[in-house]
Chains A and B, each alone.
Chain A
Amino acid sequence: LSERVKSVAVVGRDAPLWLAAAAVQRALGATGLRVQAIELDTRVAQVDAYVAVPSLGSMHRLLGLDERLVLNVCHGVPMVGQRFSNWGKGGAPYLLAFDDEPPPGGDLPFTQYWAKGALEGLRVGLEDFSFGSACARLNNVPVPTPEPNASAASYGYHLDAAAYSELVKQLALRLGVDVASAGVRNIDVDGDVVTGIDLDDGRRVTADLYVDASGRETQLIGRLRRAEFESWSEWLPCDRMLATSAPRLPRLPAFSQISAFHGGWVGIFPLQNRTAVITVYSSEAVSDAEVVELAGVIARMPVSGEAVVSELKAGTQRTPWIGNCVAVGESAIAVDPIDALELHVTHGCISHLMSLFPATASEFPEAEAYNRSVCSFGSNLRDFQAAHYVLNGRFDDRFWDRLRDADMPPKLKRKVDMFGARAVVPLNDDESFHEQSWAALLLGCGVRPQGYDPRVDAIADEAHIEKVQQRMRDVAQTARRMPSVEQFLGLDQAAAAQVSG
């Protein structure tokens, strides 16, 4: 008779470690499963920030982590969108927000109506019909409304990384995760199986299943015989990251600002107590010393204090679940910092692991399904990120020119071609982004649809114009009714109380 999985050891650091341990504990603790967390040295500096797409909110709901608490403790600011500047010479900045997908089975996607309009001379961009983007531009936060057919969008978060890691750690402890705080002396593997972990205090930890949340160092899975890393540097070329801090912005924006420069890009991420300024770049194009100088200039903000450089290496484990070891987060898929996907990857891997949590401890037929889903999940994210780089319009910078010449990943190529042909984006299995998000990205990158769905022609021109105008009015009106970032965070009331008190 096959035994159940009775113990899980999660090896890793910072938020991914605690998110993984807390998720397993919360779901399976009641069945008597024991979760041990083995904490490695932190890689989070005081100046770091976690920037997350809206899926982090669902992860928090799953873990029972209160949104207000997260925002307060982590000096958080909602991330309604991201604004991309200087990605094309002469190209306008564009915003990527997170509009909810309209319910299926209704009208044709609005993009089709827009594409026809654009071909016939409509000057307004698709972005002006995006509710999330409209909110972001107003520094408002799209909160749910009671009206059933109103536009809706979701928001993500800008969080202080050290505070967030600590918060999730406390949650994991409260849920009952066991923590080994002694350092790791040795990780024992035999071929494709992890056999045990020796700690500095002489203890040896063994488990039925090991989870690698150690990040790009892949301290567990990287030791297994079958482990194989596939580099994505061809499309995601940045190998360095510099984190610094600037003062808090006087009026908190609802979006991140991502500005490209000749050797990479600078991200400005607002927090309640400071502004994280993070530069992601290629060491071939620009030196660390130059970047320290440039970061503040490009961000147009006084950068001061600690400046921490770390290495990046985008790519994926070809087999993220080998034997009794499951890689999650960056250990499985190391994405680029662009598009705020690091914690989304962690979340995605944990979700796949939970949905396929092994039924028995003897063998793991679930691994194959996990590997397939996680790899396609990862390659879809890579393609989304790669679009920024390979479709750049920065001519005459060597770094950017070379990227434009690279062959696109085939599935991205197909999306670009299909979008160019008729404004549709063919989605694959395990996509994280809706068709609308892809459309906004591809338009931002300069792909212009040359056709549209002929069913759009079924409505008369006047009705078409009216439909387009109506949508623009609705979006703008609803966005204006949304609370500002300050209102959303309750900061305006606090300020008022101070004045009157």
Chain B
Amino acid sequence: MQTVRDIVIVGGGTAGWMAAAVLAKCVGTAQHRITLIESEEIGTVGVGESTIPPIQQFNRILGIDEDEFVRATNATFKLGIEFVDWRKLGHSYFHNFGLLGADLGTGVPFIHYWLRWAQSGGDPDQLKFSSEAEAARLGKFGRVPPSPGRSEPNINYAFQFDASTYAAYLRRYSERRGVLRREGKVVNVRQNGQTGFIEAVDMADGSSVRGDFFIDCSGFRGLIIEQVFKAGFQDWSPWLPNDRAAAVPAERMAQPSPFTLARAREAGWQWRIPLQHRTGNGYVFCSSYISEDEAAAQLVDSLAGTALASPKLLRFKAGRRKASWVKNCLALGLASGFLEPLESTSIHLVQAALTKFLDYFPQREPDPIVITRFNEEMCFQYETIRDFIIAHYKVTEREDTEFWRYCKHMTIPDTLAEKLELFMSRGEVKPRWGDLFSEVSWFAILYGQGIVPEGHHPLADAMSEGDLEITLSRIRAAIKQRVAGLPSHADFIRSCCAAQPAPATTAA
């Protein structure tokens, strides 16, 4: 095989245009030709997409202006996720982005000092030590520039945006940088008879597009990775039984919340993602426990505002393509696997695959050693996120419906069981190197779902009681002060990144 020159992306949508944008930026179109094939006949879902903070890195790689990006995608800011009714009905907790408390410079994470304090009768709400959670509670948002010398962490955030406008935004970005877009449907994939490498795809109009490397963004069906290469699918539905989602947009919230809401329902959970111009809603459920019609009806009934369309139904299965890179084809997005959007990881998985792919970008025929390594790293990414999501279902007091009884009593992967055991003892799970979710995230979820750690790191006991009290109240005061200085989320958006001229208010 000759030098890789022609890169063909099969499928538009979020994954396809993310690939196009990052390749256009990092590989460039001077020596490579980047073509994206998509068909307007195949629609995208486009309800509302919620992200996690590493997306800021992706934006930095692309070099895009954040305000412009927020305007273009009708985005709002996101400080975390509120989970309602997950531990038990009527209970809620918050998965805060960012860190907790401050680094006390002792080598012992803040959480252990907090645990010590809570275990001896202190306020059991750890989120008083999270600027993000505190701001979210008050509906505030602001960017806090890094301030050297201060030990309190910055405010960390992600975005909630309209997935279809995001794809359109990245399309403009990519086309400006020389990416070619081909309209049409792929009807056939041509392989080299000897090597099995993909040589070209044939289009419905009789033309064909040849390439040296192919990126399969064709969705669940995996036009190349599965239809041609039969990579295989690892089914995780025994742990993550949800297999449907009904999605419906509703009117915008007057004060869009700077967080995503995830409310547990009788056979799954429901999201609410506030955008600037409307609110995305969806019910992710398991069809063995509730019918599609019933789920859609419950979704529409629960909306606070008016529905702007009728519910759309999506079908899926949790799991992962056994290999996401085979020969000269890389699968991204739904073509490489699916994990429900409970922790907003779909876009991140595309981003992670793309940045890794850039590290291993092939000059010529991809080396099997490189491919194996890539697939192992992606497998690790998928599995750690999978475990994190499973924990939301497994650790619960709910047994009020058949769905929740199943979740509470299901067997879980050993990797997760080990984490839960350690957490019960000391409030930490020791994530491995490269784990997407940090101790702070694990703490928010496991503590929020109802595990109260019995102990804490004994090193935290080395501080005197008086010092501990002073330290905690100092940090608490700094967080309150920081949050008090923030504008409301709505005002912040109005001031610098409103999608269109702010609608005239009644007071005008």
Contacts and interface: CB of A to CB of B under 8 A. Distances in A.
A451 B432 contact: no
Nearest to A356: B430
A452 B367 CA distance: 12
Contacts of A429: 432-434
B314 interface: no
A360 B454 CA distance: 8
A28 B458 contact: yes
B459 A360 contact: no
Given A359-B454, A369-B422, A455 B26 contact: yes
B130 to A, nearest CB: 23
B363 A454 contact: yes
B412 interface: no
B373 A451 contact: no
B433 A430 contact: yes
Contacts of B458: 4-5, 28, 31, 33, 357-359
Contacts of A453: 359, 361
A20 interface: no
B139 interface: no
A499 interface: no
B462 A28 contact: yes
A28 B459 contact: yes
A442 B27 CA distance: 28
Contacts of B46: none
A437 B31 CA distance: 33
A102 interface: no
A359 B425 contact: yes
Contacts of A2: 454-455
Contacts of B358: 455
A426 B373 contact: yes
A4 B362 CA distance: 54
A369 B430 contact: yes
Contact of A31 (B370, B432, B462): B462
Interface string B409-426: 000000000100110111
Contacts of B27: 454-455, 458
B28 interface: yes
A454 B362 contact: yes
A205 interface: no
Nearest to A26: B462
A40 interface: no
Given A360-B425, A454-B362, A422 B430 contact: no
Interface string B435-473: 000000000000000000111111101100000000000
Contacts of B508: none
Contact of A357 (B367, B373, B422, B459): B459
Interface in A50-84: none
Contacts of B422: 365-366, 368-369
Given A359-B454, A365-B422, A455-B361, A418 B432 contact: no
Contact of A27 (B363, B367, B459): B459
A182 interface: no
Interface in A451-500: 451-455, 457-458
B359 A418 contact: no
A421 interface: yes
Contacts of A366: 422, 425-426
A297 interface: no
B373 A418 contact: yes
Contacts of A368: 418, 421-422
B369 interface: yes
A354 B363 CA distance: 45
A125 to B, nearest CB: 23
Contacts of B433: 428-430
A360 B456 CA distance: 8
Contacts of B430: 356, 369, 373
Nearest to A108: B359
Given A421-B369, A455-B27, A457-B31, A357 B457 contact: yes
A424 interface: yes
Contacts of A128: none
Contacts of A454: 4, 27, 361-363
Contact of B455 (A360, A428, A458): A360
Contacts of B462: 27-28, 30-31
A458 B28 contact: yes
Contact of B369 (A360, A363, A417, A455): A417
A119 B373 CA distance: 24
Interface string A358-377: 11100101101100010000
Nearest to A2: B454
Contacts of B362: 454
A430 B431 CA distance: 12
Interface string B3-26: 010000000000000000000001
Contacts of B454: 2, 359-360
Contacts of A455: 26-27, 358, 361
Contacts of B361: 453-455
Contacts of B26: 455
B459 A424 contact: no
Nearest to B430: A369
B459 to A, nearest CB: 5
Contact of B459 (A354, A373, A426): A354
A359 to B, nearest CB: 3
B7 to A, nearest CB: 12
B432 A422 contact: no
Interface in A1-60: 2, 4-5, 27-28, 30-31, 33
Contacts of A359: 425-426, 453-458
A414 interface: yes
A454 B31 CA distance: 11
A359 B26 CA distance: 47
B461 A31 contact: yes
Nearest to B28: A458
Contact of A422 (B370, B418, B421, B425): B370
B322 to A, nearest CB: 19
A452 B244 CA distance: 44
Contacts of B432: 429
23 contacts: A28-B459, A28-B461, A30-B461, A31-B458, A357-B458, A359-B455, A359-B456, A359-B457, A365-B421, A365-B425, A366-B422, A366-B426, A369-B418, A369-B430, A373-B430, A421-B369, A424-B359, A424-B360, A426-B373, A429-B432, A454-B363, A457-B31, A458-B28
Closest 8 CB pairs of A and B: A359-B455, A359-B426, A31-B461, A30-B462, A417-B369, A429-B433, A421-B367, A369-B430
Interface of A: 2, 4-5, 27-28, 30-31, 33, 354, 356-360, 363, 365-366, 368-369, 373, 414, 417-418, 421-422, 424, 426, 428-430, 451-455, 457-458
Interface of B: 4, 26-28, 31, 358-363, 367, 369-370, 372-373, 418, 421-422, 424-426, 430, 432-434, 453-459, 461-462
Given A4-B455, A369-B418, A422-B360, 11 more contacts: A2-B454, A2-B455, A4-B458, A28-B459, A357-B458, A365-B424, A369-B430, A418-B369, A422-B367, A451-B367, A452-B363
